[in-house]
Amino acid sequence: MGRAITAIELAGILSVSTVAVAASQEISPPARAMTTEKRTAQMPSHAMKGIVKSASDSSLVIVRSRRSAGEMTFVLSSETEREGTIAVGSTVSVRYRPEGSTLVATAVSAHAETCAARPEIGGSGR
């Protein structure tokens, strides 16, 4: 009889813990929708650095670095964060996310020309 009571107690404990785990993992439909929206808004972004080949209000074409040569075209929108002067020939960093076959720029920042601003080492010419 002692074994029967122990088996019943064990079955009761297991069933209560199973229900508790299932209840903690259940997500209500509104919460599930918010989770999906949050994932969409926070899709991982990529970054690329290159030289501007052409730029307009709605698109940006850059030539990638020599390590991964080629052109990349990005869609710019009113939501794209822009920093610095984005002009043909300037070096820029672009954060973007793929949307199907389109690359949507989330942020573009122009780099200041550091070579001209950097002082010469041993500038006295000795």
Q: What is the pLDDT of residues 29-77, one digit of tens each?
A: 555 454 444 444 556 689 999 999 999 999 999 998 777 778 999 999 9
Strands in 1-126 per DSSP E:
46-55, 59-64, 71-75, 81-83, 91-99, 102-110
Mean pLDDT of the chain: 75
Which pTM value belongs to this model?
Answer: 0.56
Question: Looking at the predicted structure, is the pLDDT value of residue 118 above 50?
Answer: no
Distance CA 72, CA 110 (A): 16
Q: What is the pLDDT of residue 69?
A: 75
How far is it, in rounded angstroms, from Cα 109 to Cα 50? 11
Return the residue matching tokens 């070096």: 91
